[in-house]
Structure 1
Amino acid sequence: MKNFVRKAVIPSVVATSFLFPASANALAEFKINEESNVWISLLLQLRGEWIENGQADGSGWRSDFYIRRARILFGGTINRYVDFFVETDNPNMGKDVPIKDNDGNIIGYKSNNDTKTFIQDAWIRLKFAKEFNIVMGQILLPFSHNNATGATSLLGVEYNLTVVKFPPTSNFVWRDYGVEIMGLIPLPKGSLDYRMGIFDGVETLKNPDNGVWINKDDNYRFTGRVQYNLFDAEGFYYKGTYLGKKKIVSFGAGFDYQKDAAADDYEAPTKVDDYKAWTVDMFIDYPLSQGDVATFQIGYINYDYGNTGNPNDGDAIYMETGYLFNKKVGIGKIEPLLRYQSFNSSSSTGIDDTGLYVGVAYWIDGIRANIKAEYEFDGGDGKDQDVFTLQAQILF
């Protein structure tokens, strides 16, 4: 514990003191004419991690500083009917990767400086009416509230990554290529947010050794979501918190299906079946009378990989909550956080994984400038490691 305090807590306090001396500025926006504009923005998340028993010999606290996300966001409006969005990313640059000997034993670590910048989102939207839009391109899958949340506005340090078990060849960072219809339907009380799409999903593949095909007929992937908003509605990308700027109470459900897209092995399949998944979730982000904000989210996901025995077959649950105090402490506001996520595999080859996280967010200028810290308790996933994470974010 003394080594942890020396290697993690002290650098954390020092970093907090100088990373954000002033509020971040607004993004740059350029008006072309009365209907057209373009804008550009930058997301930068810098992260430090301290991993218990993480050194090469399995002892001590190993530290790791790296760039979690470095994104350029670019979008605009052509006219009242057409808008677009493109986003790049260069994730995990400098993150430690293990060095192994010929027997597979870890003998050291090195920073990964071979990461590449790539297109992560790219879509065009046709806005016929608030109730009906068509989106085409590389789109974040409309499935759960967790996976449809933008990385700029997460409540905690990270997504609930453990609970996302899409087929490994069916997505690129939870995105897929296709066409989606979406809209917001006003109701007597609240509104209904719907999103339904057809996507590439898992592509065709034949195992030459046994003649077994994955998705031989090139079937579409069907993914969709409906969400009932009791008060305010959310945008194209959901947020992990609105920091009191909206009153959100929502109940959602989603599905994900592709025929012949489940397999035991996506490189050399021997068993193939239909892939199915469904989810339900609730999200609350509620401003209180004194200016404080209470946030709570919970979701359940069921993954069905048929009779393939795929380790991702099973169910998952996630929960996160926070309470934002409106009174400033220094240059920002404090929000204690709690997260829990769990995946239970129904396959004999699967691994059950549970994570419990206690943390705090320090909102200096909302999502534009903040610092977050989380402590993850060992979840029984075989690693026997607690992890402390510190992250600084700017959105310019």
Structure 2
Amino acid sequence: MMNLKKCALHTAVAMVCATGAQLANAGATISFGEDKYISAGFGFITSYNSVEDAVNSNSDRSNDFTLDSARLYLSGSFNKYIKGMLNTEKSGGGSAGSNVEVIDANVQFQLTPEVSIWAGRFLSPSDRANMAGPYYSMGGGYWANIASRYGWNGGVIGRDDGVAVVSSFLEDHLAISFGAFEGNQIFRFSGVGAQSQSTTTKDNLMYAGRVQYNFWDAEPGYYGTGNYFGAKDILSIGIAGRMKKDGSVAPSVSNAVGDYKSYSVDFLLEKKDVGPGTFSAEAAYYYYDTDNVFLGEQGKAYSAGLGYLFSEPVGWGKFMPIVRYQKFDADGTTSFNSTTNVFTNSRTGGDTKRMEVGANYVIAPYNSVITATYGKTDTSGASSDNFLKVALQMQF
């Protein structure tokens, strides 16, 4: 999820929206006068992936190069009170047959230095992992998709069409956001399918909110980041939630309908000058409730990560060893029979966990990062997947 604080493409938007840009070296801006401009840029994440026993009747390793993400960024300004942005992404969850779709198309009205209104398509208030997204996580296009399920599955890569009040107080140490959204694609890539509004239920909106407090350095802005690569001392706690009445819909023959709710608590610590570098730690807890409609998307989830960025450059960049863990304790499994068009729930299985160890080579924070990780994914009722991934992230 594109972080508009850190890329020069969004620097001017961010400043007027009380975001305070930093570490920006990407994008180009054409000015048409005071507070009038158009900015453009692009970014991509590509990777090499090798998974054990993934081909040849589960007897050989796979070897694949993948374009995980490709984005075009546009932003503009009428004046210091009205800004907007338009961003696109290669859709389809990373599949080869994916298309390009609009992920951000919104306007920001800056009512006061502390309060703005966002309208259109954008990231609804949620957990830090979703607000940061793959380009602004702990490096290398990392998606916390096992734990942060709405960020991966919901809406258009975590985005929704709606309106939100975005505010920050106490010199940007306290951030509060709340909004109302369409919320009709809560389970888009989850395996239970994108759930459109049912004709047998009321057309309810989804409501989402987030409260975050920073004890050390402030974090200006709405879109967030998962790591500052030594630029700040951060101690932050965030609480987020979303709900939609009749938001869990199993269509056709099944025709089960229930309310959707999710809550999360996230934590980020980053401290400079800890020995020869910067130490960072992150953690989050999630709870998902589908009113027992989709047991495979209902349950508790956890994520955690540690990183250490060495201050001394080696060649073009700096090394940052990392370790990451995710787990989703689902209440069961959900399957779909395409012949009978029926969803089936089972109270057994459904748990997924992933462990990764590796390192980032940070050439330019957020704009040029190479990441290599080795990990293992365990899913109950299925064999484990041992994988090697080398990713290149670039933004211009």
Separation of aligned partners in 2, 1:234 and 1:267: 45
Deviations 1:118-139 (A, max 9, x none): 1111111001123211000111
Deviations 1:331-354 (A, max 9, x none): 210000010000001131661000
Greater shift, 353-362 or 239-248, is seen at: 239-248
1:395–1:349 CA distance, 2 compared to 1 (3 A): same
C-alpha displacement at 1:269, in angstroms? 3.8
Greater shift, 272-281 or 289-298, is seen at: 289-298
Indicate the percent of aligned positions where both proteins have the same amino acid.
26
Secondary structure (helix, strand or coil) at the match of 1:41 reads strand
Contact residue 122 and residue 160 of structure 2 kept, 8 A: yes
Q: Name the structure 2 match of 1:192.
A: 174
Secondary structure (helix, strand or coil) at the match of 1:335 reads strand
Separation of aligned partners in 2, 1:85 and 1:324: 32
1:13-162 equivalences under 5 Å are: 26-91=26-91, 112=96, 114-157=97-140, 158-162=142-146
Contact residue 244 and residue 291 of structure 1 kept, 8 A: no
Contact residue 156 and residue 337 of structure 1 kept, 8 A: no
1:237–1:309 CA distance, 2 compared to 1 (3 A): closer
Q: Name the structure 2 match of 1:176.
A: 160
Q: Name the structure 2 match of 1:372.
A: 371
Q: Name the structure 2 match of 1:237.
A: 223
1:231-310 equivalences under 5 Å are: 231-263=217-249, 265-266=250-251, 268-288=253-273, 292-310=277-295
Separation of aligned partners in 2, 1:273 and 1:93: 26
The gaps in structure 2 that reach 5 residues or longer are 1-23, 185-195, 333-346
Contact residue 292 and residue 324 of structure 1 kept, 8 A: yes
Secondary structure (helix, strand or coil) at the match of 1:232 reads coil
1:50–1:91 CA distance, 2 compared to 1 (3 A): farther
Contact residue 72 and residue 87 of structure 1 kept, 8 A: yes
C-alpha displacement at 1:307, in angstroms? 3.5
Greater shift, 84-93 or 31-40, is seen at: 84-93
1:167–1:297 CA distance, 2 compared to 1 (3 A): closer
Separation of aligned partners in 1, 2:352 and 2:135: 26
Q: Which amino acid aligns with 1:196?
A: F
The gaps in structure 1 that reach 5 residues or longer are 1-23, 96-111, 207-212
Secondary structure (helix, strand or coil) at the match of 2:146 reads helix
**What is the Cα-based RMSD across aligned positions, in Å?**
2.3
Separation of aligned partners in 2, 1:167 and 1:302: 14
Aligned length: 345
Secondary structure (helix, strand or coil) at the match of 1:328 reads coil
Deviations 1:186-227 (A, max 9, x none): 16xx72111100001135314xxxxxx3xx221111011000
1:166–1:232 CA distance, 2 compared to 1 (3 A): closer
Separation of aligned partners in 1, 2:93 and 2:260: 33
Contact residue 290 and residue 297 of structure 2 kept, 8 A: yes
Separation of aligned partners in 1, 2:109 and 2:169: 17
Q: Name the structure 2 match of 1:7.
A: none
Separation of aligned partners in 1, 2:154 and 2:395: 30
Separation of aligned partners in 1, 2:218 and 2:297: 35
Contact residue 35 and residue 77 of structure 1 kept, 8 A: yes
Q: Name the structure 2 match of 1:340.
A: 325
Q: Name the structure 2 match of 1:109.
A: none
1:233–1:62 CA distance, 2 compared to 1 (3 A): same
Separation of aligned partners in 2, 1:163 and 1:286: 25
1:26–1:301 CA distance, 2 compared to 1 (3 A): closer
Q: Name the structure 2 match of 1:9.
A: none
Contact residue 166 and residue 222 of structure 2 kept, 8 A: no
- Pairing 1:227–2:212 present: yes
Contact residue 155 and residue 240 of structure 1 kept, 8 A: yes
1:306-385 equivalences under 5 Å are: 306-347=291-332, 348=347, 351-381=350-380, 382-385=382-385
C-alpha displacement at 1:169, in angstroms? 8.5
Contact residue 185 and residue 193 of structure 1 kept, 8 A: yes
Contact residue 252 and residue 280 of structure 1 kept, 8 A: yes
Contact residue 310 and residue 349 of structure 1 kept, 8 A: no
C-alpha displacement at 1:309, in angstroms? 4.8
Separation of aligned partners in 1, 2:247 and 2:90: 29
